[in-house]
């Protein structure tokens, strides 16, 4: 109700008079941020940055990036649709998240590049050089802690005085707002709901994230890179964490906050959040592909027969693939890690990989479920 | 003036509190840390590399500091907040309407957002410097639990303003629990948990019901979240933080190249 009111007052996407360049930038932004392109572009960005890390870790690159982002931000701020979302007080932290994550990723990459070069020349790492010196906790550490705290508190106070914490209308269980979003730090999981059912996106996958994080120290047996930044001594570990944390967590939070509107439909940053925007649902189950399209038959009634192709596919994926890889390509890995570690690792990894696999299949062939058994609430 | 200072510092009261002179000699600097229970979380001497901002990003420290700010402001908010369905919203609203330049609610809310960010960045830093490798495996695990607790603290607090945003965000979040395998009434396998034709898992007794103390986000959920948010989770988190810091020391201080 109040959303509808806002629509009326806001004039339903007030007409914006843009010059051709401004309109071009806005249209391009809306086009690029569509979830498929957004995800592919961010994958390419991560791979590209890690590969060309020497270039990207230069100071002027990150300075130029932040300068351009600021310019873009100032430009976008004039747009009523962009403005409406970015100026919500609760979205300020997401902007902070964006800036800090990019800055610290750059910083770590820079130190990794420098350290890797030093190691190649046989010199100690940046950390190694300083580690030889020991200083007193009082005053060196206590003072820098104190200065941090004072500056930080001052910043918090200014922020708190400038921006009042919002409060919406009183709770009404009968009136569902649209969009209904989970707290922002869970929006990555809510984004997964597009591809998976709640039992996977909301229960199983988060549990595996926690279990997987706990397992990291026991699965990563590479003794190198302990206590200093490096890329070349542990390329797989770093790349994996970048993909997991930066792509599938942080960038999905940003996507969910700024680009998902009513009905969880996609909206470009300059698009009006129209309640009536409908995205056609044309997704098809694997069983339909198999029985109807491939064999040209109706789907069998027995759910287990009907879903046999998906069941076989997933058994192959989770149970046949690991031993197969362990016997062939990853033989060395099994020898180094041992059977137990290898299997735990493979299963966690395959669950993780299921996310991009399913996303890819959704984008390319509109796959809905590998196994779709609504009879038992069992949809994968 | 100097005389006055000296008099104070020679008095029995001063000496009973501080057991060493001004920390400007190695001996007194050591004593300053050793004789203070809070500073004692630190070792007496630290490796130069470990205290560089460009190494730790100060994110663990910031997370802890945010936890302290949140405890303080949260305590003050508790004086003005009643966790019942008809009072909660009113009380929060009153804080906003009747307190000029009130910052307690703001500090608490913005601080909570920041703590989630800083704990993520802390974990990111620990991973990138390989600091979870032996001997710090256990402390990484303590950290993972702290991460989950931080999110739970934030999640339970999200409901307390009892406005539309709060109630529906928690509804969306807890709806997931309905689909828990075997334990949620819309989860796979729930139908198997039945005996003699009686279903044991239904909307009135599944995990979601347990979380919310009801079939939807209502008064029961508000009280439950309030108690967990103000007492349960902070106590567990504080205890684990003590373990976490203790372990940082015992594992040889902030990690560095061997
Ligand atoms: C409430 C949350 C947390 C607080 C208050 C906290 C606090 C701290 C502090 C103050 C340090 C000292 C070094 C530094 O500042 O970087 C530290 C180190 C450490 N933390 Fe945390 N932490 C938290 C959560 C986590 C999480 C989520 C993880 C990992 C999953 C983690 C893993 C570690 C490890 C392994 C160290 C040792 C790092 C080293 O020696 O370089 N902590 N923590």
The confidence score (pLDDT) of residue A2 equals: 38
Q: CA nearest A91: which of A253, A247, A246?
A: A253
Q: Given pLDDT bands bounded at 50, 70 and 90, which one contains residue A11? A: very low
CA distances to A119, A128, A266, B258 from A132, in Å? 17, 7, 53, 10
**H or E stretch covering B120:** helix B104-128
- Note whether B55 contacts A197, CB cutoff 8 Å: no
Q: Given pLDDT bands bounded at 50, 70 and 90, which one contains residue B239? A: very high
Which residue has better confidence, A251 or A10? Answer: A251
ipTM field: 0.90
Cβ pair A251, A237 in contact under 8 A: no
Which residue has better confidence, B223 or B48? Answer: B223
Average pLDDT, chain B: 87
Contacts of B47 in chain A (CB under 8 A): 130-131, 133-134
Contacts of A92 in chain B (CB under 8 A): 110, 113
- Note whether A172 contacts B190, CB cutoff 8 Å: no
Q: Fold for domain B49-250? A: Cytochrome Bc1 Complex; Chain C (1.20.810)
Residue B198 DSSP code: E
A193-225: pLDDT as tens digits: 889 988 898 889 999 999 999 999 999 999 999
| CB B115 near ligand 1, within 6 Å | no
| pLDDT of B25 higher than 60 | yes
Distance from CA of B2 to the nearest CA of A (A): 23
Q: CA nearest A301: which of A287, A285, A284?
A: A287
A153 φ, ψ to 5°?
Answer: -60, -40
Q: CA nearest B122: which of B57, B53, B66?
A: B57
| CB B190 near ligand 1, within 6 Å | no
Which residue has better confidence, A237 or B26? Answer: A237
Q: What's the rounded Cα separation, in Å, for the pair B32 and B17?
A: 12
Percent of chain B with pLDDT over 90: 42
The confidence score (pLDDT) of residue A8 equals: 38
Domain residue limits, chain B? 49-250
Q: Given pLDDT bands bounded at 50, 70 and 90, which one contains residue A291? A: confident
Which residue has better confidence, A377 or B162? Answer: B162
Q: CA nearest A141: which of B39, B113, B142, B198?
A: B39
**H or E stretch covering B118:** helix B104-128
- Note whether B164 contacts A168, CB cutoff 8 Å: yes
Cβ pair B184, B206 in contact under 8 A: yes
| pLDDT of A10 higher than 80 | no
**H or E stretch covering A338:** none
Candidate from A133, A137, A378 with C-beta closest to B42 = A137
The confidence score (pLDDT) of residue A6 equals: 40
A140-155: pLDDT as tens digits: 788 888 888 899 999 9
The confidence score (pLDDT) of residue A341 equals: 92
Contacts of A166 in chain B (CB under 8 A): 165
| pLDDT of B136 higher than 90 | yes
Q: Helix (H, G, I), strand (E, B), or coil: what is residue B46?
A: strand
- Note whether B44 contacts A107, CB cutoff 8 Å: no
- Note whether A108 contacts B93, CB cutoff 8 Å: no
Residue A379's contacts (CB-CB under 8 Å, 6 or more residues apart) are A197, A369, A371, A372, A373
| pLDDT of B188 higher than 60 | yes
Q: Helix (H, G, I), strand (E, B), or coil: what is residue B194?
A: strand
Task: Give the residue ranges of DSSP H helices in chain A.
Answer: 2-10, 20-32, 35-51, 53-56, 59-77, 80-86, 92-120, 126-131, 142-162, 187-192, 198, 205-219, 235-241, 252-258, 286-287, 303-306, 308-315, 321-327, 331-337, 339-365
Q: Among B39, B41, B46, B60, which residue has the most ligand 1 atoms within 8 Å of its CB, making it the best to mutate? A: B60
Token pair recorded at residue B183: 């334990």
| Lowest-confidence region among A342-356, B1-15, B104-118 | B1-15
Q: What is the mean pLDDT of residues A13-31?
A: 79
Q: What's the rounded Cα separation, in Å, for the pair B211 and A364?
A: 39
Q: Given pLDDT bands bounded at 50, 70 and 90, which one contains residue A1? A: very low
Token pair recorded at residue B94: 């009153």
Average pLDDT, chain A: 87
Which residue has better confidence, B201 or B96? Answer: B96
Q: What is the mean pLDDT of residues B34-45?
A: 75
Residue A200 DSSP code: I
Cβ pair A42, A247 in contact under 8 A: yes
Query: Across A254-268, A325-339, B220-234, which has the greatest mean pLDDT?
Result: B220-234
| Lowest-confidence region among A20-29, A111-120, A173-182, A249-258 | A173-182
Chain-centroid distance, C-alpha A1: 32
Distance from CA of B107 to the nearest CA of A (A): 6
Domain residue limits, chain A? 5-134+228-264, 286-379
Look at ligand 1, atom 1, and give the residue with the nearest C-alpha: B146
Distance from CA of B252 to the nearest CA of A (A): 11
A51-107: pLDDT as tens digits: 999 999 999 999 999 999 999 999 998 888 888 888 888 888 999 999 999 999 999
Contacts of A162 in chain B (CB under 8 A): none
- Note whether A227 contacts B89, CB cutoff 8 Å: no
């Amino acid at each position: 109700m109040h959303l509808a009111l806002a629509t009326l007052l806001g004039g339903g996407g007030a007409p914006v008079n843009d010059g051709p360049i401004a309109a071009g930038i806005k249209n391009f932004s809306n086009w690029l941020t569509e979830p498929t392109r957004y995800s592919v572009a961010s994958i390419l960005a991560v791979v590209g940055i890690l590969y060309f890390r020497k270039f990207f870790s230069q100071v002027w690159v990150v300075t130029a990036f932040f300068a351009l982002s600021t310019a873009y931000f100032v430009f976008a701020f004039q747009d009523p649709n962009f403005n409406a979302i970015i100026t919500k007080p609760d979205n300020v932290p997401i902007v902070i998240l964006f800036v800090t994550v990019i800055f610290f990723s750059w910083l770590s990459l820079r130190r990794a590049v420098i350290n890797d070069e030093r190691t190649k020349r046989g010199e100690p790492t940046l950390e190694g050089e300083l580690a030889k010196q020991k200083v007193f906790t009082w005053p060196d550490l206590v003072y820098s802690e104190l200065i941090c705290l004072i500056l930080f508190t001052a910043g918090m106070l200014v922020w708190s005085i400038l921006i009042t914490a919002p409060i919406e209308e009183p709770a009404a269980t009968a009136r569902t707002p649209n969009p209904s979003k989970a707290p922002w730090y869970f929006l990555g999981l809510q984004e997964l709901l597009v591809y998976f059912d709640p039992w996977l996106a909301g229960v199983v996958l988060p549990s595996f994230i926690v279990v997987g994080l706990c397992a990291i120290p026991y699965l990563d047996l590479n003794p190198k890179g302990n206590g200093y930044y490096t890329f070349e001594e542990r390329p797989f570990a770093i790349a994996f964490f970048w993909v997991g944390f930066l792509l599938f967590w942080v960038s999905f939070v940003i996507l969910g906050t700024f680009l998902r509107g009513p009905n969880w439909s996609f909206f470009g940053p300059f698009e009006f959040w129209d309640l009536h925007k409908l995205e056609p649902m044309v997704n098809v189950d694997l069983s339909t592909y198999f029985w109807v399209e491939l064999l040209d038959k109706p789907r069998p009634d027995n759910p287990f027969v009907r879903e046999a192709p998906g069941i076989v596919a997933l058994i192959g994926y989770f149970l046949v693939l690991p031993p197969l890889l362990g016997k062939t390509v990853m033989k060395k890995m099994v020898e180094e890690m041992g059977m137990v570690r290898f299997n735990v690792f493979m299963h966690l990894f395959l669950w993780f990989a299921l996310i991009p696999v399913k996303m890819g299949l959704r984008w390319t062939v509109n796959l809905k479920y590998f196994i779709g058994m609504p009879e038992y609430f069992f949809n994968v | 003036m100097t005389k006055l200072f000296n008099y104070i510092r020679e008095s029995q009261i001063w000496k009973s509190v501080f057991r060493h002179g001004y920390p400007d000699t190695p001996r007194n600097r050591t004593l300053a840390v050793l004789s203070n229970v809070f500073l004692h979380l630190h070792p007496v001497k630290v490796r130069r590399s470990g205290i560089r901002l460009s190494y730790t990003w100060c994110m663990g420290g910031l997370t802890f500091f945010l936890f302290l700010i949140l405890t303080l402001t949260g305590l003050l908010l508790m004086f003005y907040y009643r966790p019942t369905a008809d009072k909660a919203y009113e009380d929060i609203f009153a804080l906003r309407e009747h307190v000029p330049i009130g910052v307690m609610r703001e500090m608490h809310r913005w601080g909570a957002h920041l703590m989630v960010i800083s704990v993520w960045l802390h974990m990111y830093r620990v991973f990138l410097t390989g600091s979870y490798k032996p001997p710090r495996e256990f402390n990484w695990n303590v950290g993972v639990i702290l991460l989950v607790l931080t999110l739970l603290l934030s999640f339970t607090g999200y409901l307390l303003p009892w406005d539309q945003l709060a109630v529906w965000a928690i509804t969306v979040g807890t709806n997931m629990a309905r689909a828990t395998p075997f334990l949620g009434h819309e989860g796979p396998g729930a139908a198997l948990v039945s005996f003699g034709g009686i279903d044991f898992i239904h909307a009135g007794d599944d995990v979601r019901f347990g979380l919310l103390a009801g079939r939807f986000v209502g008064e029961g959920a508000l009280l439950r979240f309030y108690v967990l948010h103000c007492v349960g989770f902070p106590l567990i988190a504080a205890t684990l933080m003590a373990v976490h810091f203790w372990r940082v020391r015992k594992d040889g201080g902030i990690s560095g190249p061997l």
